[in-house]
A and B are shown apart, each in its own frame.
Chain A
Amino acid sequence: MDLFLQQTLAGLAIGGVYASVALAVVMIYQATDHFNFAQGEMAMFSTFVAWSLISYGLPYWVAFFLTVIISFAGGLAIERIIVRPVEKAPVLNQIIVFIGLLVIFNSVAGWIFEHTIKPFPSPFPEQPLFGNNYIGMHDTGVIGVTMIMLALVFVFVRHTPLGLAMRAAAQNPESAKLVGVRVGWMLAIGWGLAAAIGSVAGMMIAPVVFLEPNMMVGILLYGFAGALLGGVSSPGGAVIGGFMVGVLENLVGTYVPFVGNELKLTVALVLIVAVLLFKPAGLFGIVTVKRV
């Protein structure tokens, strides 16, 4: 029972990271109908930015918020400069541009920061909360930070005029344009937000997996799995999906003997294919009907 509880709580912590990545993926998907295959590498790059800021001697939380702002601006710039020219291009061309971005971020990070594995600090103290044996302080902190961030994003999207405009632009671009919403800029803000959310996910996971250019590849895959499981048409669902996938990954890794740690990515692959085949809309998504 202790093991089960420990693994579930640890799963929730990593699930928070997956949930953030899933939310970032869904934000861009909702606005533009793309999966951003470069989401993970963007988050990895943001984490390297945070690492350099901390290395310059900035306190952790200053570096944290600076990184979030820089990532937001970076995401905005990428949409405006790189993604916008292929907005109307066929799907294949867009996927290729995203893969191009993935490769560029990965290699540039390797180029600037080198491929050596770097430790990344955790802002939370070593001792577990209230001296319990079930969950460490970093995991507790990760759950807390993701929860706060998700709440902020929810409030922003639901209860501010800008959030309303963003939702309008995503749901019905033509009508939104007619009532004066600048749809192009809304998409760019969506990219910025996704990059910012991704950067938080990167900074939260980096103390666990260590910082190196390939650290986000597996996490992005689980983020995708979470987004699909919850439903790519539902941001809330994607977040729940992310948490579920995190818990599932830990429990399967612990209790199913032939999986262990070695086939974790295969679990994600099977999950993605299974969801796409049997429940393409996900658990909380809206089933779309296409007219032909």
Chain B
Amino acid sequence: MAIARETDAAAIKIGGASVSRTRLLVLVAVAVLACVLPFLVSDYRTFQFTLALIYAIALLGLNILTGYNGQFSLGHGAFYAVGAYTAAVLMDQFEVAYYWTIPAAGLACFIAGFLFGFPALRLEGLYLALATFALAIATPQILKYDALEHWTGGVQGIVILKPDPPFGLPLSQDQWLYFFTLGVLAILFLCGWNLLRGRTGRAMMAIRDNPIAASALGVNTGLYKTLTFGVSALYTGVAGALGAIVIQFVAPDSFNLFLSVTLLVGLVVGGIASIPGAIFGGVFIVFIPNVAEEISKAAPWAIYGVFLILFMYVMPTGIWGAIRQAYAWLVRQRAA
């Protein structure tokens, strides 16, 4: 990013932050492309792109925690599940409108994440990974639990209805949900970007890089770590709620360990500690299995696994890291 700033002397100020002209142009181009996309492809493809956006939100949440704050979570599927169930139960039992379930799910997950963040404070890297791994494995069982069956529908899950576009807009249901998700994503990405570029973001990264030095500099490590856990869970929970609305169905077994692994795959492939990487990760985890399934039903997971290991060997910074390296190389070539 520093390179982009150096080459583009004419930086544009937006709300106190300076954004280089190249980046702004790319951003506008991406936004325009995202808006025309649902009119170019079929409803089913639109549905898939909506899912990719939803995963991107969840991945940004995981990235805030793991990439920027250095706390590992192999159990973010659990927060995704809490978000999805909050939305589904509110819509099914209390007939709440779908758009109100989004903030409700975010709030529920923020609290859940904040509370899980307390024990997590005492756990370092590997142990936190283990505790969250256990959380991921236990999640489907908790969702199936008898005492909660009245709300959660037990093994059967909950079926919800797809909302119609409001104000008589000439859109199909899938197109409307795509734009709805895109809007939520835009707001959350803007908030995330704002959070990470300022004082809070610096404190989070300082804790990741050297917790002792950070606390010596006056960063309240405990508070920041639990809050980061909460914010991260909020993002993932909002994604879960959107996922429930778009898929129109929640059931315990879709929130198993492999959902958490999927999020990990997206994180690694997109790029750890990068905001745009979340989009690449989301697109990857939605579209690669489609390609792979033509080889075999089990192939998508095998390919996920191979990608996980390969990326760690050759491209540990993910797709976005590779793009940035390539861009830096181009700039150097031009300067030389």
Main secondary structure of the interface of A (DSSP, over half): helix
A: number of interface residues (CB 8 Å): 45
What A residues does B212 contact at CB under 8 A? 292
Inter-chain contacts of B74 with A (CB < 8 A): 37, 95, 99
Is the beta-carbon distance between B145 and A95 smaller than 8 angstroms?
no
Report B123-138 CB contacts with A as 1/0, cut-off 8 Å: 1011101110111011
Q: Is the CB of A95 within 8 A of B72?
A: yes
Tell yes or no: A172 within 8 A of B by CB. no
Q: Could you say which of A34, A92, A111 contacts B272, with CB atoms under 8 Å apart?
A: A92
Query: Could you tell me if B134 and A96 are in contact, using CB atoms closer than 8 angstroms?
Result: no
Q: How far is the CA of A263 from the CA of B130 in the complex (A)?
A: 19
B309 within 8 A of A: yes
**Residue among B134, B272, B305 making CB contact with A269, cutoff 8 Å:** B134
Cβ-defined contact, A273 with B309, below 8 A:
no
Interchain CB contact under 8 A, B298 and A262: no
Q: With A263-B145, A266-B141 in contact, do A103 and B313 touch (Cβ < 8 Å)?
A: no
Neighbouring B residues of A218 by C-beta, 8 Å: 137
Q: Which B112-156 residues sit within 8 Å CB-CB of chain A?
A: 119, 122-123, 125-127, 129-131, 133-135, 137-138, 141-142, 144-147
Chain B residue with the shortest CB-CB distance to A29: B126
- B246-298 with Cβ < 8 A to chain A: 257-258, 261, 264, 268, 272, 296-298
Q: Which residues of A contact B135 (CB under 8 A)?
A: 269
Tell me the bound Cα distance from A228 to B133 in angstroms. 14
Docked pose: A241 CA to B84 CA in angstroms: 36
- The answer, among B123, B145, B297, B308, for a CB contact under 8 Å with A97, is B308
Given that A86-B313, A111-B299 are known contacts, is A99 also in contact with B142, CB under 8 Å in the complex? no
Q: Is B163 engaged at the interface, CB distance under 8 Å to the other chain?
A: no
* Residue in B closest to A89 when the chains form the complex, CB atoms: B312
- Interface residues in A60-95 by Cβ distance below 8 A to B read 82, 85-86, 89, 91-93, 95
Q: Is B308 a contact of A99 with CB atoms below 8 Å?
A: yes
Inter-chain contact A93/B312, CB cutoff 8 Å: yes
Set A37, A107, A217, A263: member contacting B298, Cβ < 8 A: A107
Complex CA gap A108/B66 in Å reads 29
Given contacts A93-B316, A262-B146, contact A100 B305 (CB under 8 A): yes
Mark B residues whose CB is within 8 Å of A.
66, 72, 74, 119, 122-123, 125-127, 129-131, 133-135, 137-138, 141-142, 144-147, 212, 257-258, 261, 264, 268, 272, 296-302, 304-309, 311-313, 316
**Which 4 pairs between the two chains have the least Cβ-Cβ distance?**
A100-B308, A107-B301, A104-B305, A103-B305
